[in-house]
Amino acid sequence: MTHLLDWLDVEEDDWKACILEALAFGEERDRAWGRHDGSALGMVFFNDSLRTRVSMELAASELGVRSVTVTPGSGTWGFAWDEGRPMNGDEAEHIREAVGVMSRYCHVLGVRLFASGTDRTADVSDALLTRFAASSTVPVINLESASRHPCQALADATVLHRHFGEGEDLAGKKFVLSWAPHPKPLPMAVPNSTLLMATRLGMDVVLARPDGFELDESVIDAARRQATTAGGSFSETDDQNAAADGAHVIYAKAWGGFGRYDDPESEADLRLSKSDWRITSETMQLTDGGQFMHCLPVRRGVVVDDAVLDGESSLHLDQAEFRLHAQKAILDWLLRDRNLRDGESAGDGR
Ligand code: CP
């Protein structure tokens, strides 16, 4: 059974096919209208969302897939995660039964489950997402976990292909992922997936972040490997202006440092002292006619100046639009996979 938890687990052919499908859905929104009529998608949102929730519900609907969304603890039972302990707390339902039941109703599940912010090992390894998927008997789509946001990554990859020309090689394009200021220590799912997306596309990728805001070494190692395989490059710097020099893309994202796990006060002091990492018109002037990207939601005047977002060189709304097209490509891939398996097993066994 294929899950989409992290694109690192997915073969190159499937990743490329999903980009092409997402591009095609962007050109012709109704091209697969009702293709998966009779299928059901169940989504569990442990955290808030605008884009992911709306675009997944619409993506499903346009493919003929019925969707249901639950938010544990708010109109749905709170879910317990502990193993081997009597459930004497507030939570009425264990994750094993909750996901098991949803798997009986639905042909594919989606889950949004952010980082705890307190258990670094569990967050980096996406331990809760892994347990959720282990309880499912149907494919699971990661709708943003502690450590990855594959739906965002596919949408962003598709927007890059579309912007720079669908047939054009992205090799030689300088892609800067820049840390950005924020009042909260946000998780690392988006920067991790963004770095892995851009290196997989063979771009010349620069990670610009102040000391204290490094990404996990496992992600950096994977980014290096992918850059080598794809014929691009990867480097890190704490000099944002040097990174922006000659860039074709500035992708801004805020995240909290790993200091949040053992010394949150120092992490907050450091983070709040770096407000000059905000992306401004001056930053963009250093680029080679560069495009601004952000996954949204974005804090205007904190992460980026209004003039950049409202100018002609920002792709943030395209990125949001392509969430719809990308997730249709993902649903279509996973449901076609399931239909093939069902067809094969019906042929073998009955
Ligand atoms: N970018 C993104 O995932 O947006 P939401 O958090 O609103 O879903």
Question: How far apart are alpha carbons 124 and 120 in whole angstroms?
Answer: 6
Question: How far apart are alpha carbons 247 and 285 in whole angstroms?
Answer: 10
Alpha carbon of 50 to ligand 1 centroid (Å): 6
Over the chain, what is the mean pLDDT?
95
Ligand 1 atom closest to the Cα of residue 143 is: 3
| 104-117: burial string, b at 16+ Cβ within 10 Å, e else | eebbbbbbbbbbeb
pTM (two decimals): 0.96
Residue 52 CB–ligand 1 contact under 6 Å: yes
Which residue in the block uniquely carries the two structure tokens 């962003």?
156
Residue 92 CB–ligand 1 contact under 6 Å: no
Residue 328 CB–ligand 1 contact under 6 Å: no
253 and 266 both lie in a single domain? yes
The CATH number assigned to the domain holding 161 equals 3.40.50.1370
Type of residue numbered 252? A
pLDDT tens digits along 142-172: 999 999 999 999 999 999 999 998 667 799 9
Residue 170 CB–ligand 1 contact under 6 Å: no
- Whether residue 1 lies inside any domain: the answer is no
Alpha carbon of 52 to ligand 1 centroid (Å): 5
Contact 234, 262 (CB under 8 A): no
Alpha carbon of 313 to ligand 1 centroid (Å): 21
Domain enclosing residue 293, as ranges: 152-315
- Smallest CA-to-CA distance from 142 within 167, 165, 113, 164 is with 113
Q: 35: which 2 tokens?
A: 């293709």
Alpha carbon of 319 to ligand 1 centroid (Å): 11
Ligand 1 atom closest to the Cα of residue 296 is: 1
How much helix, strand and coil, in percent to the nearest 5, is found in the chain?
45, 15, 40
pLDDT tens digits along 249-283: 999 999 999 999 999 999 999 999 999 999 999 99
265 and 283 both lie in a single domain? yes
303 and 162 both lie in a single domain? yes
- Whether residue 296 lies inside any domain: the answer is yes
* Predicted local confidence at residue 104, as pLDDT: 98
Overall domain count for the chain? 2
306 and 171 both lie in a single domain? yes
